[in-house]
Chains A and B, each alone.
Chain A
Amino acid sequence: MIGVELSLLLRRRRVWLCWALLCALPTAIAILLAVTKIVPPPGPGAQFLSAVLADGQLFPAAALALVLPIFLPITVAVVAGDTIAGEAATGTLRYLLVRPVGRLRLLAAKLAAVAVFVLLAVVFVTVTAYIVGVLAFGVGPDASLGGTGGITSLSGVVLTPTQLAGRTALTIAYLALCMLALGAVGLFFSTLTDSPLAAALGVLAFVVASTVLLPLDAAAGIRFYLPTRHWLAWVDLYRDPILWRAVRQGAAVQAGYVLVAFGAAWANFATKDVTS
């Protein structure tokens, strides 16, 4: 069933369009930066942008920070909101269920497809940004030429290319997990309605609600459990030594969201009357 779901996912033009748009935004920014050489002041997320002019190899991190707050969640909302509601809307849900595909198996396969989508999305952005970054900004001066011989981390220590590759892989995994949590919420919403659009908007409303609550002092008690609070924890992976605490906490909260949302989706879908 997972094979069927992947096949359906990869044959969808919408999915490729999402990936293309995710890669297009950092590319456009790289071109603007390379042409104008105007660098934004350092700040959260933009920390990397101010450094990319010196070394294009840092651009993947900058690109991830750029697509993370809005672009990536939108694509996840679209794809995850479509999972069950989309099948209901086209009528294929009833035919899948009488094939028969067990309801739990269908949900699991859908979540797996969403996981593949988010993982590939993050990987594509990283790879595209690396190529674009190196092409646009070049690689920092080599050690033999008096350069640092690596990438300067956020804490000022030099990272070797191997270290950088390892940390990039960790970042990809962490962000994919964050987006999978959102995808699981989308899967749940998708079992509540026969309209993929409504489910996708529900996911976006969820993200916006979390973002709005985050700075609110009155919401301090639940702040830790807001998903968006942990989205930028991956920045700590680029410090030396790595500050694991926030990353570990973030991963735990996101994994919790995956479990709870998937459980809710299962609870709702298992005995739902399929009348679409």
Chain B
Amino acid sequence: MTVIETEGLTKRFRHVVAVDGVSLAVPAGARFGLLGPNGSGKTTLVRMLLGLVHPTAGRVALLGRPMPRDAAQVLPRVGALVEGPAAWPHLSGRTNLRLMDAAGGGGRRNRADRVEEALVRVGLGGIGARHVRAYSLGMRQRLGIAAALLRKPELLLLDEPTNGLDPRGIGEMRALLRHFAAQGTTVVLSSHLLSEVEALCSRVGVMSAGRLVLTADLDTLRAPTGLVQVRTPDPAAAVGVLNGQVVHRNGDLVMVRADDPAALNARLVAAGVPVRELTALRRTLEQVVLELTGPSADRVDGGRS
């Protein structure tokens, strides 16, 4: 089943085209990352998926049903974090979750258990009666994710899920999202943090200036470049053995053009050249995205530096 399907989705805010003809399909069980610089239309796209913003043109189907028409049936099966967490500041985190659960028509039975389970999942199990007003950014983020997890969603749609978390918190959140993905939950992340998407997703979509400029599997994007980097205490001998294949040499590093790193290694060892390190170079996601996308929309000088 296709969990997210859009066709020619377009949103125009007065004179600005925020999202421009996006056709996207995310299959069930996928871990999908939506990438793009600030202002490329990621958030508006997510808001249209959830029925918060009405498309100017095109159509959206979520979990196989048209949005926003079937929002009442679809959204209970979706957990979402949109542009940062939000909570009623004058209430405790626990009360916030209880009220959100009640607002969404979650039954009174087991509500306390559901809320407790979600809090424990995100590491807020021991949270007291403190008001959200006094929470740190990281705690608010955890609370926002807890709210998204309240009803065992089939689709998690998370905009910048690790915003405000420290490195340990980021690690925990990744583990949590992997856990849900392993259970069959479709996870869609939107982020401008490439490492975030790289660590979690198997497929990415890249947005630039409102358009979806690329969708591809991460493995394809990061295919080997045909270059192998060799570190050796005897670079001169290595260059001698690999005559003609060496692209350049820098200290104890030798950059070699080779399709099969294993064969290259065997050749060097057979010739008596000691190898300390051998790496098949891949393009980073960062390179891919930077090649595809224009300057950030929050830059106003046209990207000339």
Binary CB contact string for chain B from 73 to 111 against chain A (1 if under 8 A, 0 otherwise): 001101010111111111100010001101111000000
Contact at A100–B71, with CB atoms within 8 Å?
Answer: yes
Using a CB-CB cutoff of 8 Å, which residues 85-140 of chain B contact chain A? 85-91, 95, 99-100, 102-105
Distance from A242 Cβ to chain B, minimum over Cβ atoms (Å)? 43
Contact at B86–A99, with CB atoms within 8 Å?
Answer: no
Using a CB-CB cutoff of 8 Å, which residues 74-117 of chain A contact chain B? 90-92, 94-102
Binary CB contact string for chain A from 1 to 26 against chain B (1 if under 8 A, 0 otherwise): 10110011001110000000000000
- Which of B52, B71, B103 has the most chain A CB atoms inside 10 A of its CB? B103
Contact at A273–B88, with CB atoms within 8 Å?
Answer: no
> Is B294 in contact with chain A by the CB < 8 A criterion?
no
Contact at B86–A98, with CB atoms within 8 Å?
Answer: no
Size category of the binding interface on chain A: 20 to 34
What CA separation (Å) do A274 and B102 show in the bound complex? 21
Contact at B104–A92, with CB atoms within 8 Å?
Answer: no
Residues on the A chain within 8 Å of B270, using CB: none
> Is A36 in contact with chain B by the CB < 8 A criterion?
no
> Is B53 in contact with chain A by the CB < 8 A criterion?
yes
> Is B249 in contact with chain A by the CB < 8 A criterion?
no
Indicate which residue in A95, A100, A102 contacts B147 across the interface (CB closer than 8 Å): A95
- State whether A4 and B52 are in contact (beta carbons under 8 Å apart), knowing that A98-B82, A99-B75, A100-B76 are contacts in the complex: no
- State whether A95 and B54 are in contact (beta carbons under 8 Å apart), knowing that A90-B86, A100-B75, A274-B47 are contacts in the complex: no
What CA separation (Å) do A87 and B88 show in the bound complex? 8
- State whether A271 and B54 are in contact (beta carbons under 8 Å apart), knowing that A4-B102, A98-B80, A100-B75 are contacts in the complex: yes
What CA separation (Å) do A181 and B86 show in the bound complex? 31
Contact at B51–A90, with CB atoms within 8 Å?
Answer: no
What CA separation (Å) do A92 and B85 show in the bound complex? 9
What CA separation (Å) do A57 and B91 show in the bound complex? 40
Residues on the B chain within 8 Å of A96, using CB: 100, 103
Residues on the A chain within 8 Å of B102, using CB: 1, 3-4
Contact at A92–B75, with CB atoms within 8 Å?
Answer: no
Contact at A101–B90, with CB atoms within 8 Å?
Answer: no
What CA separation (Å) do A99 and B79 show in the bound complex? 8
Contact at B78–A98, with CB atoms within 8 Å?
Answer: yes
Binary CB contact string for chain B from 146 to 159 against chain A (1 if under 8 A, 0 otherwise): 01000000000000
B contact residues, total (Cβ < 8 Å): 31
Indicate which residue in B72, B86, B90, B99 contacts A94 across the interface (CB closer than 8 Å): B86
Per DSSP, chain B at the interface is: loop
What CA separation (Å) do A100 and B82 show in the bound complex? 14
A-B contact count (CB 8 A): 77
Q: Considering only CB atoms, which chain A residue lies closest to B73 in the complex?
A: A100
> Is A275 in contact with chain B by the CB < 8 A criterion?
yes
Residues on the B chain within 8 Å of A12, using CB: 90
What CA separation (Å) do A78 and B100 show in the bound complex? 23
Residues on the A chain within 8 Å of B147, using CB: 95
> Is B50 in contact with chain A by the CB < 8 A criterion?
yes
Indicate which residue in B51, B71, B90 contacts A13 across the interface (CB closer than 8 Å): B90
Q: Considering only CB atoms, which chain B residue lies closest to A275 in the complex?
A: B53
Contact at B91–A11, with CB atoms within 8 Å?
Answer: yes
Indicate which residue in A4, A95, A101, A275 contacts B47 across the interface (CB closer than 8 Å): A275
Q: Considering only CB atoms, which chain B residue lies closest to A90 in the complex?
A: B86
Contact at A273–B84, with CB atoms within 8 Å?
Answer: no
Binary CB contact string for chain A from 132 to 146 against chain B (1 if under 8 A, 0 otherwise): 000000000000000
Contact at B100–A99, with CB atoms within 8 Å?
Answer: yes
Contact at A91–B52, with CB atoms within 8 Å?
Answer: no
Distance from A112 Cβ to chain B, minimum over Cβ atoms (Å)? 14
Binary CB contact string for chain B from 33 to 50 against chain A (1 if under 8 A, 0 otherwise): 000000000000001001
Distance from B94 Cβ to chain A, minimum over Cβ atoms (Å)? 13
Binary CB contact string for chain B from 51 to 72 against chain A (1 if under 8 A, 0 otherwise): 1111000000000000000011
Contact at A99–B104, with CB atoms within 8 Å?
Answer: yes
Residues on the B chain within 8 Å of A95, using CB: 80, 82, 86, 100, 147
What CA separation (Å) do A95 and B103 show in the bound complex? 10
- State whether A98 and B100 are in contact (beta carbons under 8 Å apart), knowing that A90-B88, A92-B87 are contacts in the complex: no
Residues on the B chain within 8 Å of A8, using CB: 88, 91, 99
Q: Which 10 A-B pairs have the closest CB atoms?
A: A91-B86, A99-B104, A100-B75, A274-B52, A273-B53, A4-B103, A98-B50, A98-B80, A4-B102, A4-B99
Return 6 A-B CB contacts under 8 Å, by A number: A3-B102, A4-B99, A8-B91, A11-B95, A99-B103, A100-B104
20 other A-B residue contacts (CB within 8 Å) besides A98-B51, A100-B104, A101-B104: A1-B102, A4-B99, A8-B99, A11-B95, A12-B90, A90-B86, A90-B89, A91-B83, A92-B87, A94-B83, A95-B86, A97-B50, A97-B52, A99-B100, A100-B75, A100-B76, A273-B13, A273-B54, A275-B47, A275-B53
